[in-house]
A and B are shown apart, each in its own frame.
Chain A
Amino acid sequence: MIFTWNNPASAPGFSGEEPCVGFDRGRAARVLVLPAWFDEANKLRRFTLEVMRRLDVAGIDSLLPDLPGCNESLVPLADQTLDSWRVAAAAAAEALGATHVLAIRAGALVAPQGLPGWHYAAQSGPKLLRAMIRARTIAAREAGKFETYEGLVALGRAEGLTLSGWHLGAAIVGALEAAEPALGPAQSDIPQTALGGPGLWLRAEPDDDAGQADRLAAVIAQNLAESVR
């Protein structure tokens, strides 16, 4: 269930071998899971795995690779850009033999356009950046320092920025300012309202919700069943 995939790209920031968590039983439908990012990744970690467990029970393989710079990856996060993650996501899809993609929140920003699949509660770059910068300005204020959104964005664009413990390089800060999720030709949105309940990324502490995981997995299983009919 935990293995590695080889990222063959030779661009800087690539280590070659990256870890992957998956339910891989060589079945026909193989879903590449691109998780939420940064703080949202922590909040949605359990939920993401719970959805994958349900897909497994429904007869669907799912594969959750670490993108370069994330989780157990050995390369520095600060070297990563939106483009390096797009290339890595496409390389992971290829290496793992994915037939579909499930992109969660900001994961939608790097989803391979050519794969059929779903964007769950896709998040835009500017909103992601705004929430993370806001957490930093509020924490700074509690510590008696005064930082502004504009000042931090300018610093981030020039030198990179540490937000909630993640060190983001200048290139990714600049790219996030303008990044909007775009659906590929065979991709569809699954909005949070389809899951009946508030998004778990909102929670101050990581939480889980079996009902929401049931519903997201059911939407995917149903879509897949309809597409082969």
Chain B
Amino acid sequence: MTILPHVDSAAGEAALDRELKGLIADVLGLAPSQAEAFGPDSGLFGHLPELDSMAVAGLLTEMEDRLGIVIEDDDVDGEMLETYGALLAFAKSKLDPR
């Protein structure tokens, strides 16, 4: 498990960005370069054919494992999964709830 406690620093944010892209690539079997190219507005759920509900479940479970966070049922909505930027912001808020 990788724990990234200081997401308020630029280095911490870059590490979280890298971790999250790597995780999406691992779960969806994407080429690392395809995940690398994700920007804030890149579409996820509903845009990537690989990302169905089983894959979403795997993605969230893997996020919990690798980021050391707990994701509640109520946290999961279409918005949080719609774009890469929204998922990154969600991960950041879970790691640093201030």
Contact = CB atoms under 8 A, between A and B. Distances in A.
Most chain B beta-carbon contacts within 10 A, residue among A39, A135, A149, A207: A135
A205 B29 CA distance: 8
A148 B73 contact: yes
Interface in A108-127: 127
Nearest to A142: B53
Contact of B76 (A138, A164, A205): A138
Nearest to A40: B58
Contact of B53 (A127, A138, A205): A138
Nearest to B60: A134
Contacts of A198: 25-27
Contact of B57 (A134, A148, A199, A203): A134
Contacts, number: 52
Interface string A133-155: 01101110110000011000000
A178 interface: no
Most chain A beta-carbon contacts within 10 A, residue among B29, B51, B52, B56: B29
B14 to A, nearest CB: 21
B27 A203 contact: yes
B61 interface: yes
Given A135-B53, A207-B29, A202 B73 contact: no
A131 interface: yes
B55 interface: yes
Nearest to B26: A198
Contact of B61 (A134, A139, A204, A207): A134
Given A127-B61, A131-B61, A134-B57, A202 B26 contact: yes
Contacts of A131: 57-58, 61
Contacts of B29: 203-205, 207
A148 B62 CA distance: 19
Contacts of B61: 127, 130-131, 134
B54 interface: yes
Nearest to A139: B53
A202 B53 contact: no
B69 interface: no
B7 interface: no
Contacts of B25: 198
Interface string B33-76: 00000000000000000111111111011100100000001001
B86 interface: no
A132 B60 CA distance: 11
A204 B73 contact: no
Closest 5 CB pairs of A and B: A198-B26, A204-B55, A135-B57, A134-B57, A131-B61
16 contacts: A131-B61, A132-B57, A134-B61, A135-B54, A135-B58, A137-B73, A142-B53, A148-B73, A149-B73, A198-B27, A202-B58, A202-B62, A204-B28, A204-B54, A204-B58, A205-B50
Given A134-B57, A141-B76, 20 more contacts: A127-B65, A130-B61, A131-B61, A134-B60, A137-B76, A138-B53, A138-B57, A138-B76, A148-B73, A164-B54, A198-B25, A198-B26, A199-B26, A202-B26, A202-B27, A204-B29, A204-B51, A204-B55, A205-B50, A207-B29
